[in-house]
């Protein structure tokens, strides 16, 4: 089919007002109808909805169009949605082009400029769509094997989810035991399950599953290869272990924030301890004990300070030696502190508790009831502001080792002093440092140092790097239930990838025209993905010559190679130079018309 015979369908979304409040959608549709190659132009309140998708499907089936342009929100949200609709209509899913007229237009422009810019973007997309060619997905053989890096509850649950379907799975854990943070907990909030019971049950399942291999005391040192065919070098007891696998799940977990020396008296007074030590203290009490004791002394008053190492504010909080501030909420600390308070008040009623907080964030199911139980058990709540934090000092009262001064906003900023036998710090969560591994694997890391997923709603356990997933607190602070949910999602994604024994990848990769290639290697030097592009010897007219060759499964489709080739012998499928030229021509032409 000649390019002039292409029939482009343009579908413009109102986005429930997100776009139409600032863009005259019907005017854009009217202009699109007059664009070269456009045979159909339609609008819908929500193009991503079933009726919106059905509109495209019916036009494709009726042979009214053979190319599709959708003008809506960012392609990262619904590109796969519209490709799926086209495929259901029986057409090639790669005859589709997207125009982002929400983030790039309606959210930054208003009135006539917004409508004009939306028109230009639609014209550009339609011009490119005319030059789109049907593409075939890349087929890659995949090893039916997965590696889970991290042996905490996220890693264990992920491995069990994968192995239960018969896929062989290896757990790589750097410490000598599985279980991670669960080893340091007692009864889990908010319903009181024993962490040790849950962990014992999970470990029994791991040991009983022949598809799971556990490597403790081991660390991943090197990762090579690509989706379906990764090669790992693992350091175990001074010997390098080689593991071939098809997919990798990062479940590297988090650790408790360690306060700076002197922060709320930490490391200065032995009676100042983090919450995890209080949990161990409670866990170590004998069943018949009626008085909570610390270092052999009865604990009469406990001051509990929230938000230590969380929600830190530049200019108010002092960073640690690494220079970082934890500006995020660690989410689980409030509930964990309340859970400890309730246990103490119910088991050791002679111990008085003063909870000093900035905000109480009991967000999950059953957690607000835990707050109510603490209140009913006469836990005293005192609220402080970030710029007026509690001060822990040596007590002038000989009956108590410490005193905590606080300006309580619940009592109209009254200055109070609480004598304390024990000061407990609700320390937040920090991700374990996997920066070297993340850098080697090209994994994105957020400004908070947690590993960063593609999209928190649409692709919550996926990395941009195909075949690598993430689960649990390496991604964000989570409680045990949320961690298990994330692990289940990562397991399902891994199974969906590996079960067929092969993988289909998007075809937006570099392609070499061997007739034009002169083999000078500039493309190889420019390639940013090691192994994606190489010079190979081939026979041409009886002579050995060098030609560039792409490994499609490793190619990132960045176009760096195409930019440096003087012969224009290499291009990127779906983003060819001629397609760019058509887009620019359309922008210039429509810009003059506007």
- Which runs of consecutive H residues, i.e. helices, occur in 236-360? 275-283, 333-347
Return the CATH number at 323.
3.50.50.60
Same domain, 370 and 499: no
Percent helix, percent strand, percent coil in the chain, to nearest 5 = 30, 30, 40
Same domain, 275 and 406: yes
* Residue 296 CA neighbour count, 13 Å, CB half: 0
The tens digit of pLDDT for each residue in 336-370 reads 999 999 999 999 999 999 999 999 999 988 999 99
Domain end: 503, 532, 547, which one? 503
pLDDT(271) > 70: yes
The tens digit of pLDDT for each residue in 140-193 reads 999 999 999 999 999 999 999 999 999 999 999 999 999 999 999 999 999 999
Same domain, 567 and 474: no
Residue 588 in any domain: the answer is no
Average pLDDT over residues 437-466: 93
Structural domain span for residue 194 = 145-253+432-503
Return the CATH number at 26.
3.40.50
Same domain, 159 and 249: yes
Same domain, 227 and 276: no
Same domain, 321 and 455: no
Average pLDDT, the chain: 94
Using alpha carbons only, give the angle 421, 424, 430 rounded to the nearest 5 degrees.
Answer: 160
Measured CA to CA, the distance from residue 542 to residue 525 in angstroms comes to 28
Residue 140 in any domain: the answer is no
Residue 583 in any domain: the answer is no
Domain end: 364, 399, 429, which one? 429
Residue 306 in any domain: the answer is yes
Count of domains in the chain? 4
Same domain, 424 and 438: no
Return the CATH number at 567.
3.30.70.20
State the Rg of the chain over Cα.
30
Same domain, 521 and 552: yes
Model confidence at 286, in pLDDT bands (50, 70, 90)? confident
If one compares 69 and 2, the residue with the highest pLDDT of the two is 69
Q: At what angle do helices 112-130 and 25-33 cross, to 10 degrees?
A: 40
What percent of the chain shows pLDDT beyond 90?
90
Model confidence at 457, in pLDDT bands (50, 70, 90)? confident
The tens digit of pLDDT for each residue in 44-71 reads 999 999 999 999 999 999 999 999 999 9
Residue pair 26/18 in contact (Cβ under 8 Å)? The answer is no
Residue 581 in any domain: the answer is no
Looking up tokens 């052999």, which residue turns up? Answer: 296
Same domain, 327 and 370: yes
Structure confidence at residue 591 (pLDDT): 60
Measured CA to CA, the distance from residue 228 to residue 142 in angstroms comes to 4
Domain end: 454, 473, 503, which one? 503
3-state SS, residue 74 = coil
Same domain, 425 and 456: no
Model confidence at 1, in pLDDT bands (50, 70, 90)? very low
Model confidence at 288, in pLDDT bands (50, 70, 90)? confident
Average pLDDT over residues 86-92: 97
Same domain, 437 and 381: no
Q: Which of 391, 429, 408 has its CA nearest to residue 311?
A: 429
Model confidence at 583, in pLDDT bands (50, 70, 90)? very high
Q: Which of 35-39, 437-441, 455-459 has the lowest mean pLDDT?
A: 455-459
190: cis peptide before it, omega within 30°?
yes
Residue 58 in any domain: the answer is yes
The tens digit of pLDDT for each residue in 399-436 reads 999 999 999 999 999 999 999 999 999 999 999 999 99
In this structure, how many other beta carbons lie within 10 angstroms of the beta carbon of residue 502? Answer: 12
Looking up tokens 């009676």, which residue turns up? Answer: 271
Residue 15 in any domain: the answer is yes
> Residue 278 is encoded by which pair of tokens?
């209080």
Measured CA to CA, the distance from residue 432 to residue 181 in angstroms comes to 12
Structure confidence at residue 237 (pLDDT): 86
Region at 262 (left for phi over 0; alpha for psi -120 to 50; beta for the rest): left
pLDDT(4) > 60: no
Same domain, 228 and 247: yes
The tens digit of pLDDT for each residue in 567-582 reads 999 999 999 999 999 9
Measured CA to CA, the distance from residue 531 to residue 236 in angstroms comes to 27
3-state SS, residue 471 = coil
pLDDT(253) > 90: yes
Q: Which of 570, 539, 544 has its CA nearest to residue 557?
A: 570
Q: Which of 155, 109, 149, 122 has its CA nearest to residue 29?
A: 122
> Residue 505 is encoded by which pair of tokens?
């990848």
Measured CA to CA, the distance from residue 407 to residue 160 in angstroms comes to 49
């Amino acid at each position: 089919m000649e390019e002039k015979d292409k029939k482009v369908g343009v579908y413009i979304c109102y986005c429930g007002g997100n776009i139409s409040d600032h863009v005259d959608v019907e005017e854009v549709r009217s202009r699109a109808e007059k664009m070269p190659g456009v045979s159909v132009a339609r609008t819908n309140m929500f193009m991503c909805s079933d009726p919106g998708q059905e509109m495209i499907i019916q036009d494709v089936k009726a042979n009214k169009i053979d190319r599709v342009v959708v003008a809506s929100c960012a392609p990262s949200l619904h590109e796969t949605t519209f490709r799926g609709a086209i495929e259901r209509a029986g057409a090639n899913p790669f005859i589709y082009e997207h125009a982002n007229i929400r983030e790039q237009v309606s959210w930054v422009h208003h009135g006539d400029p917004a409508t004009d810019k939306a028109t230009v973007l639609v014209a550009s997309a339609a011009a490119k769509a005319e030059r789109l060619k049907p593409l075939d997905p890349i087929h890659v053989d995949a090893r039916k094997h997965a590696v889970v890096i991290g042996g905490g509850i996220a890693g264990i649950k992920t491995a069990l989810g994968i192995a239960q379907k018969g896929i062989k799975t290896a757990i790589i854990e750097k410490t000598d035991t599985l279980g991670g943070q669960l080893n340091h907990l007692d009864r889990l909030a908010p319903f009181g399950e024993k962490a040790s019971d849950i962990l014992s049950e999970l470990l029994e399942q791991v040991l009983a599953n022949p598809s799971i291999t556990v490597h403790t005391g081991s660390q991943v040192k090197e990762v090579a290869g690509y989706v379906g065919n990764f090669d790992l070098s693992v350091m175990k007891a001074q010997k390098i272990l080689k593991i071939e696998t098809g997919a990798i799940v990062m479940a590297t977990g988090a650790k408790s924030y360690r306060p700076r020396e002197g922060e709320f008296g930490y490391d200065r007074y032995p009676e100042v301890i983090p919450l995890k030590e209080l949990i161990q203290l409670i866990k170590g009490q004998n069943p018949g004990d009626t008085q909570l004791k610390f270092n052999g002394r009865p604990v009469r008053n406990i001051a509990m300070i929230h938000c230590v190492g969380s929600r830190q504010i530049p200019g108010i909080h002092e960073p640690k030696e690494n220079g970082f501030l934890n500006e995020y909420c660690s989410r689980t600390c409030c509930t964990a502190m309340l859970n400890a308070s309730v246990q103490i008040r119910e088991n050791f009623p002679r111990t008085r508790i003063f909870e000093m907080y900035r905000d109480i964030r009991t967000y999950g199911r059953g957690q607000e009831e835990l707050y109510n139980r603490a209140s009913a058990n006469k836990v005293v709540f005192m609220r402080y502001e970030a710029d007026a934090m509690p001060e822990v000092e040596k007590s002038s009262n000989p009956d108590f080792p410490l005193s905590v001064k606080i300006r309580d906003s619940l009592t109209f900023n009254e200055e109070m002093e609480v004598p304390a036998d024990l000061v407990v710090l609700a320390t937040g969560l920090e991700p374990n440092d996997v920066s070297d591994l993340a850098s080697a694997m090209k994994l994105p890391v957020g400004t908070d140092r947690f590993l960063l997923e593609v999209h928190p709603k649409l692709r919550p356990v996926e990395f941009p790097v195909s075949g690598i997933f993430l689960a649990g607190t390496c991604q964000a602070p989570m409680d045990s239930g949320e961690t298990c949910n994330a692990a289940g999602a990562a397991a399902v994604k891994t199974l969906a990838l590996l079960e067929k024994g092969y993988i289909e990848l998007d075809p937006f990769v570099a392609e070499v025209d061997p007739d034009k290639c002169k083999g000078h290697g500039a493309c190889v030097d420019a390639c940013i993905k090691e192994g994606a592009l190489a010079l190979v010897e081939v026979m041409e007219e009886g002579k050995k010559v060098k030609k560039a060759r792409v490994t499609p499964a490793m190619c990132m489709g960045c176009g760096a190679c195409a930019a440096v080739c003087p012969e224009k012998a290499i291009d990127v499928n779906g983003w060819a130079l001629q397609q760019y030229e058509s887009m620019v021509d359309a922008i210039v032409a429509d810009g003059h018309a506007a």
